[in-house]
Amino acid sequence: MNETKEKLSQSAKPIGFWGRIIARLMAIAHRTIYKNVAAALNMQPEDDYLEVGCGSGIFMKSYVSHVRSIAGLDHSKDMVKVASHYNRKRIEAGTAEFRHGDAAQLPWEDEKFSATAAIGTFLFWLEPLESLKEIHRVLRSGGRLVISLGWNADDGLNHTKHVKKYGIKLYTGKEMQAMFQEVGFSESSITYSKGFMMPKLMIACAKK
């Protein structure tokens, strides 16, 4: 296994009992992020939504329960189980699915979704460009992507210890937009807000 993957922390890949606890605490701390992402997504009843790095699945249960279908992918099998538990009624109704996998190899067909989000996970992705290409592939024409970056290279903070501890990569808004353009998105925008321990929360949006 890749050495970097072996070193992923509980924050990047929550597993076991403590992983489940951390995921729930993160969901509480991330309420401001959730509200900003939900506003940017502007989900409608006819939407088919995918969350890459879905974690506990609480965002979907709380903010996108009204859409036609939901899907989640996480590289922690434990988080897939937790997300499936929280959204079990939708799974039973056939309008939700949760899968274990990698963002760089999404297990869905082309143009399946109308909206996608990655909430607080993009900075952990080992293959960001390949993952964005995959998201672009599974989005329909006009589909939208929203990525939240609580830590980023525009927030004015020194993240040296975080980069070393978690193996993350920080991005500027310009870098995010350049990547969006490189993989084929037609439009993009960057906005900033404030969140819990995040003086400059970045919300990066793109449209296919």
Domain range for 156: 3-207
Contacts for 93 with CB less than 8 Å, ≥ 6 apart: none
Greatest alpha-carbon span in the chain: 46
**Angle, CA 156 vertex, CA 191 and CA 9 arms, to 5°:** 90
Give this prediction's pTM: 0.87
Tally of domains in the chain: 1
Secondary structure element (H or E) that encloses residue 4, with its range: helix 3-6
Return the CATH number at 46: 3.40.50.150
pLDDT in tens, the chain (208 residues): 344 444 444 444 444 554 454 555 555 567 889 999 999 999 999 999 999 999 989 999 999 999 999 999 999 998 999 999 999 999 999 999 999 999 999 999 999 999 999 999 999 999 999 999 999 999 999 999 999 999 999 999 999 999 998 889 999 999 999 999 999 999 999 999 987 778 999 999 999 9
Write out the two tokens for 139.
């989005």
